[in-house]
Amino acid sequence: MERGSDKHGPRLDEEQKHETEGMVRGGGTTHAEEWKEPEAMPAPGEESQSYPPGHEPGTAEGITQRGVDVRSDLAKWLSDAHWPASKQDLVQHAERMDAPDEVAGMVDSLPERRFTNVAEVAQALGLGVEKRRW
């Protein structure tokens, strides 16, 4: 006696068996509707979609992906500083937080002035500012 599923009845078991038969035999799916077909996976090393420079996902107009990444690192290590903060305040905060050398170096290269937030720090470092369209 062949066992089916304990969760379904024999009719649903047969229907599911029929739907997966093509995949099991290697001939493809048995679905007639195109929307039910699984999407093909890109080959290893192959980009699934390319974007023009400066328009990668997550980047707004006026800032590069590298700028976004660097601003993210700065925000990670400086966001809980007491704002507004001077360059010296930010250098001390980065040291206290044991920020990576790259972040500490950027903070150390800031001009002597007070900053009100991480965006001003990023702008002073020349990372670019996204342009908003209203």
pLDDT digits (tens, 9 = 90+) for 17-56: 877 776 677 655 555 666 666 667 767 766 556 667 766 6
Tell me if 91 is assigned to some domain: yes
- Domain count for the chain, please give it: 1
User: What per-residue confidence (pLDDT) applies to 119?
Assistant: 85
Tell me if 57 is assigned to some domain: no
Tell me if 131 is assigned to some domain: no
Q: Residue 25 has which token pair?
A: 């035999």
Going along the chain, which residue ranges are E strands?
Answer: 85-86, 114-115
Tell me if 90 is assigned to some domain: yes
Q: Of how many residues is the chain composed?
A: 134
Tell me if 51 is assigned to some domain: no
Phi, psi dihedral angles at 77 (to 5 degrees): -95, -20
User: pTM of the prediction?
Assistant: 0.52
Distance CA 36, CA 67 (A): 40
Tell me if 2 is assigned to some domain: no
Tell me if 93 is assigned to some domain: yes
Per the structure, the complete domain to which residue 121 belongs is given by 65-125
Instruction: Identify whether the C-beta of residue 123 lies closer than 8 Å to the C-beta of residue 129.
Output: yes
Crossing angle of helices 87-96 and 101-108, in 10° steps, is 170
